[in-house]
Structure 1
Amino acid sequence: MSSETPSDEVRRKWLKPAIGENFILLNDVLSSSYSTALNLSSGGTFKILKQLDSYDDENFLLEHTTPTSTTTTKYLVKVHNGVESEDAKIIDYQNSIMTHLNLHPSITTTAPLLSDDGAPFSNHKLPVSSPQHSPAPLTVRLLTYIEGTPMAYKQVTPALLFSAGEYLANVDSSLDNFSHPASERFHAWDQKNTTSLREFVKYIQTPERQKLVSSVIDAFESTVLPDASNLRQGVLQSDFNDANIIIGASDKIAGVIDFGDSVKSWRVLDCTVAMAYAMLSSYGKTGHSLAASAAFLSGFNTKYPLTPTERMHVRTLVCCRLACSATLGAYSYSQDPTNKYLLLHAEPCWRTLELVWSQVDADHLASFYDLAMSPEANLDLLSVPDPTVPDHFQKLRTSTKRSFSDTKTITFVTGNKKKLEEVQKIMENTTATITNHKLDLPELQGDPLYVSEEKCKLAVAEIGGAVITEDTSLCFNALNGMPGPYIKWFLDKCGHDGLNKMLDGFSDRTAYAQTVVAYCSGPGSPIHLFDGRTNGKIVLPRGPLDFGWDPVFECSEGGASSAGLTYAEMDKSVKNTVSHRGKAFEQLKSFLETESS
């Protein structure tokens, strides 16, 4: 790569849309190009509700009201990266995939609306990240919207990952009958092109991690590439991660979005890419990364069985995706070193890559994945913690089980008296004695699971014995999970009424409460994470006002003694059975009982 001929990955960083919160500009774009679709001439109205997550594009949620109805319809506005915008065939390719998949009775995805020119897209000069290249010609599409919640904001279970595997298998079966000339293109995120990562290895910050990625690339080159002709090919979704999987009612998969990375490549890659992302899901991050990938693989293989050659390369191809994500993340940070979030979000990917490639025996992992693809596979058998899998990972056990008497006293790191009392009540039927100690730990930012683990590391070094830390979040679904772990500061600044006002203008007031408990038995011991979540909605304050945001969170789970009540209105013993904190500490109790048996 040279400055005269930058790669597409470099140019994507330059040409990423930079509309951000400039909704006035976006309103002008839509009014000028989609007036017919939005019925503007006959009295239809629309407003941009919020910006949605995206990697190299920008996505926005739009609410539309027709002149003859009081009901509203939501649409997705997608502003494409400048690289893809340069090639109309790529945009047509993505639209064609959506049209094809929506013909399948068990698959739902977004669909494009026609612009005023009669095309399923429009082109505009819009701001991009690089000032030297701004404004740039970008493609804008107005797409149908799938009602639901991205899986990234749901509590992920092995059963949900199994279902996700089945869903992707159905997508791939349908795509076996699809072709398009634009599908055959070079894309850095296509793991068939793993060797192209070499030019980005120099951006990785530590020599050890540079060596790790180089080792994966070498293995790909020496073991996978020679078998390339024996790997089935087809058009892939290519990015089946928890942000692109939409969960609807009853926690069923409602659809799949985003075909921006779609290419024609090796069919097995759709499965292994998704397995890598399953490892980074909320379930995988609780110390079940291998189990998460196995649950997904089991579901996929049930509907779309892998061939013997494909099965042989699963581990390497999973690591190719992890290496790609981590390496290109390091490159992105090198281009924007003020953005510490890039490093923070890459860290779970690095740790998972180190686990799968360097710490788990390859033969044992192959046996585990064979088990996931066998007729005898069941989720109970696969749902085991890293890196210990019964009957297959015996040699990998890093420590013997500790007697619970070794950790008789556990220090809960908190200065909150009410929180301590609540936890002591939940844990009262164990032989553990819960004490507390207030520490001024740094306020880390990022993924709740990562933050909890890092806080626990700091706490155990300070306490020198068994410790518990916890991080609590209140996540509004309409705001993509915000305020999340920052709820304490939002509550301090806004109060109960202010939290309600944050959702003014949104019809969706649902939310979930989350506690991540981190436990470590002492210095040098592994850290275990326990993720508890409770669904509900945000309401005007009801009940006593003396315990945080309890008065505005109305629980939607449990029986008559809890559903429909705010946490503040509940009897404390009832609250402990349904609350996010209660669920997380019940998981800890079960873990401690297992450890002591």
Structure 2
Amino acid sequence: MSSDAPSDEVRRKWLKPAIGENFSLLNDVLASSFSTALELSSGGTFNILKQLDSYDDENFLLEHKTTMSAKTTKYLVKVHNGVESEDAKIIDYQNTIMTHLNSHPSINTTVPLISDDGAPFTSHKLPVASPKHSPAPLTVRLLTYIEGTPMAYKQVTPALLFSAGEYLANVDSSLDSFSHPASERFHAWDQKNTSSLREFVKYIQTPERQQLVGSVIDAFEESVLPDASSLRQGVLQSDFNDANIIIGASDKIAGVIDFGDSVKSWRVLDCTVAMAYAMLSSYGKTGHSLAASAAFLAGFNSKYPLTPNEKKHLRTLVCCRLACSATLGAYSYSQDPANKYLLLHAEPCWRTLEMVWNQVDSDYLTSFYELAMDSKTDLCLLSVPDPTVPDHFQKLRSSTKRAFSDTKTITFVTGNKKKLEEVQKIMDNTTATITNYKLDLPELQGDPLYVSEEKCKLAVAELGTAVITEDTSLCFNALNGMPGPYIKWFLDKCGHDGLNKMLDGFPDRTAYAQTVVAYCSGPGSPVHLFDGRTKGKIVPPRGPLDFGWDPVFECSEGGPSSAGLTYAEMDKSVKNTVSHRAKAFQQLKNFLEKESS
């Protein structure tokens, strides 16, 4: 990076406003440029109360009083950095985007007041961080103020993060109809430009962290960039962090501020930027980084569903934002080495990046985020500690695992005693003892074989013993295999009669029942899959109604004792000779006998 051609990120540091506590200087600017808006000629008064947090601009809270009434109004004074101040189109862009969003009934933002010159901003020569470049012409705006508290100063909960995700989804839905020529610009904080971070990696203090950021950039270039053309584009807020989210009464989101980073880029980045910042929220810092990001993702996706390719790159893009924040923070420290606070402030970001990128299995995180985007998932299922959090109950867990560790005992993961009895009868005369244990496993999505294998791995990791898991589907041929693995929810919502009505109008009422049994002999061992299927058709319910969808599935296999009967009408001993579950478990039984011999 040559001194005669510095990047915008370098110049932002040079040209960051340096007004600080010099309120009298700012008073003069406001009095000379916003006298009409502040009603100074008719006796109005104003007072700057304090400076507010900001990254490379300076913000101030102003209180305004009129002589005609006792009404007091608060405003925000924003002094822009010198880079943005050089381009009036950028300032107009920010003003326009806020005005556009504020017209949305469920979105609240700050909006600019008009200066004495008739423009929504003014320019003055003011001090900046670099003495060599001070004073510099800086843009000053007077903006409406949103009453409330930045989320950074609130106790953040998963429910609040879910609401924040919904709010940003509304913002993005509104921005889908917004355009402005100044949105098409290069910005170092736009994760579409992650490759540009390479010139700042040298400012990172340790080789290990330099390598970490380098590997994130490599992954971005190898996996994300080839899919760039398939990622939806739009104008982004780009900086939806807890300092820019305002919380009002009853812990409801009152509005969003600061559109200084707004650009036209990949739509998914608005979500992944916010997910990264959620990891660094007060909730994320309690060892719930992944849970915090998942809660936000759940809210966003519920209102603005992501596409398969956008979902595919969530982990990498979240880490791109963490890497960007940590790397540019290291650059800031290099420019101000006396400011040790910069290093302290960046440390949580580094720890989170190291955990997500190096310590958490990528397949685990993919499944976790898929669970978050399932509308049936309760938030409490996502509120789990990070996998790297020390387990203070490890000894207790180990003793529990030892209780299951008899190699002649296989644990069937179910809390359903009737299922256990059925499986025990099928597996009778094997050398293994089948017991059961109720374990809440995530309802994964995807191919039944993949889902079964992943659930079995999770169960083995939790129990530390030989386990069996099963996943059952009821598949209608007329509906190309639906409801399939989702039959449990269809039955719950529609009932037996509703399942029949789903096929009204179709000449084909044939179906097949499927069970995929997954078996693993213990941690580190491979998972074996056994797929059992039985042909039949869907009929009005017959027989006892207390065992799932058995009353509506009429079997078409076997002899007179089974063909033409619903599962519910069959004697259990007969059912165990033809059922999908029996077939899958018979395969498992044969496997175990062969393995034993």
TM-score class, shorter-chain normalisation, is 0.5 to 0.7
Q: Match of 2:185, as an amino acid?
A: R
Residue in 2 that maps onto 1:587: none
Residue in 2 that maps onto 1:31: 31
Q: Match of 1:402, as an amino acid?
A: K
Q: SS of 1:387's equivalent?
A: coil
Give the drift of 1:400.
Answer: 6.3
- Between the aligned partners of 2:98 and 2:313, the Cα distance in structure 1 is 30
Residue in 2 that maps onto 1:355: 355
For residues 251-301 of structure 1, what are the alpha-carbon distances to aligned partners after superposition, in whole Å with 9 as ceiling and x for unaligned? 000000000000000000000000000000000000000000000000000
Residue in 2 that maps onto 1:402: 395
- Between the aligned partners of 1:65 and 1:398, the Cα distance in structure 2 is 56
Q: Which runs of 5+ in 2 are unaligned?
A: 400-597
Residue in 2 that maps onto 1:238: 238
For residues 522-581 of structure 1, what are the alpha-carbon distances to aligned partners after superposition, in whole Å with 9 as ceiling and x for unaligned? xxxxxxxxxxxxxxxxxxxxxxxxxxxxxxxxxxxxxxxxxxxxxxxxxxxxxxxxxxxx
Residue in 2 that maps onto 1:262: 262
For residues 64-97 of structure 1, what are the alpha-carbon distances to aligned partners after superposition, in whole Å with 9 as ceiling and x for unaligned? 0012111210000000000000000000000000
- Between the aligned partners of 1:180 and 1:319, the Cα distance in structure 2 is 29
For residues 484-511 of structure 1, what are the alpha-carbon distances to aligned partners after superposition, in whole Å with 9 as ceiling and x for unaligned? xxxxxxxxxxxxxxxxxxxxxxxxxxxx
Q: Match of 1:318, as an amino acid?
A: V
Q: SS of 2:142's equivalent?
A: strand
Q: SS of 1:78's equivalent?
A: strand
1:454-465 correspondence to structure 2 within 5 Å: none
- Between the aligned partners of 2:50 and 2:150, the Cα distance in structure 1 is 15
- Between the aligned partners of 2:288 and 2:45, the Cα distance in structure 1 is 47
- Between the aligned partners of 2:46 and 2:390, the Cα distance in structure 1 is 58
Give the drift of 1:182.
Answer: 0.1
Residue in 2 that maps onto 1:175: 175
Q: SS of 2:107's equivalent?
A: coil
- Between the aligned partners of 1:316 and 1:9, the Cα distance in structure 2 is 23
Give the drift of 1:336.
Answer: 0.2
Residue in 1 that maps onto 2:314: 314
Residue in 2 that maps onto 1:581: none
Q: SS of 1:118's equivalent?
A: coil
Q: SS of 2:116's equivalent?
A: coil
- Between the aligned partners of 2:393 and 2:202, the Cα distance in structure 1 is 39
- Between the aligned partners of 1:157 and 1:235, the Cα distance in structure 2 is 28
Give the drift of 1:192.
Answer: 0.1
- Between the aligned partners of 1:405 and 1:349, the Cα distance in structure 2 is 33
- Between the aligned partners of 1:400 and 1:221, the Cα distance in structure 2 is 41
Residue in 1 that maps onto 2:220: 220
Q: Match of 2:92, as an amino acid?
A: D
TM, length-normalised to structure 2: 0.66
- Between the aligned partners of 1:103 and 1:401, the Cα distance in structure 2 is 54
Residue in 2 that maps onto 1:273: 273
Residue in 1 that maps onto 2:386: 386
Give the drift of 1:387.
Answer: 1.2
Q: SS of 2:124's equivalent?
A: strand
- Between the aligned partners of 2:381 and 2:391, the Cα distance in structure 1 is 20
1:188 aligns with 2:188: yes
Runs of 4+ in 1 over 3 A off after TM superposition: 396-400, 402-406
Give the drift of 1:132.
Answer: 0.1
- Between the aligned partners of 2:378 and 2:259, the Cα distance in structure 1 is 31
1:426-441 correspondence to structure 2 within 5 Å: none
- Between the aligned partners of 1:26 and 1:364, the Cα distance in structure 2 is 52
TM, length-normalised to structure 1: 0.66
- Between the aligned partners of 2:51 and 2:318, the Cα distance in structure 1 is 31
Residue in 1 that maps onto 2:59: 59
- Between the aligned partners of 1:188 and 1:293, the Cα distance in structure 2 is 23
For residues 428-477 of structure 1, what are the alpha-carbon distances to aligned partners after superposition, in whole Å with 9 as ceiling and x for unaligned? xxxxxxxxxxxxxxxxxxxxxxxxxxxxxxxxxxxxxxxxxxxxxxxxxx
Q: 1:397 to 1:32 in 2, by over 3 A?
A: closer
Count matched residues. Answer: 399
- Between the aligned partners of 1:249 and 1:164, the Cα distance in structure 2 is 15
Give the drift of 1:404.
Answer: 11
- Between the aligned partners of 2:83 and 2:168, the Cα distance in structure 1 is 27
Q: SS of 2:112's equivalent?
A: coil
Q: Match of 2:322, as an amino acid?
A: L
Q: Match of 2:23, as an amino acid?
A: F
Residue in 2 that maps onto 1:94: 94
Q: Match of 1:264, as an amino acid?
A: K
Give the drift of 1:405.
Answer: 14
- Between the aligned partners of 2:187 and 2:375, the Cα distance in structure 1 is 36
1:164 aligns with 2:164: yes
- Between the aligned partners of 1:338 and 1:201, the Cα distance in structure 2 is 20
Residue in 2 that maps onto 1:287: 287
Give the drift of 1:377.
Answer: 1.6
For residues 163-183 of structure 1, what are the alpha-carbon distances to aligned partners after superposition, in whole Å with 9 as ceiling and x for unaligned? 000000000000000000000
Give the drift of 1:375.
Answer: 2.2
Give the drift of 1:309.
Answer: 0.3
- Between the aligned partners of 1:328 and 1:101, the Cα distance in structure 2 is 29
Give the drift of 1:402.
Answer: 3.4
Residue in 2 that maps onto 1:19: 19
Give the drift of 1:2.
Answer: 1.1
Residue in 2 that maps onto 1:83: 83
Q: SS of 1:188's equivalent?
A: coil
1:186-585 correspondence to structure 2 within 5 Å: 186-387=186-387, 401-403=394-396
Give the drift of 1:237.
Answer: 0.1
For residues 33-74 of structure 1, what are the alpha-carbon distances to aligned partners after superposition, in whole Å with 9 as ceiling and x for unaligned? 000000000100000000000000000000000121112100
- Between the aligned partners of 1:402 and 1:297, the Cα distance in structure 2 is 34
Q: SS of 2:395's equivalent?
A: coil
Q: 1:290 to 1:405 in 2, by over 3 A?
A: closer
- Between the aligned partners of 2:398 and 2:23, the Cα distance in structure 1 is 60
- Between the aligned partners of 2:366 and 2:167, the Cα distance in structure 1 is 24
Residue in 2 that maps onto 1:114: 114
Q: Match of 1:259, as an amino acid?
A: F
Percent of pairs identical after alignment? 86
Q: SS of 2:394's equivalent?
A: coil
For residues 110-140 of structure 1, what are the alpha-carbon distances to aligned partners after superposition, in whole Å with 9 as ceiling and x for unaligned? 0000000000000000000000000000000
- Between the aligned partners of 1:14 and 1:375, the Cα distance in structure 2 is 47
- Between the aligned partners of 2:165 and 2:370, the Cα distance in structure 1 is 16
Give the drift of 1:376.
Answer: 2.0
Residue in 2 that maps onto 1:515: none
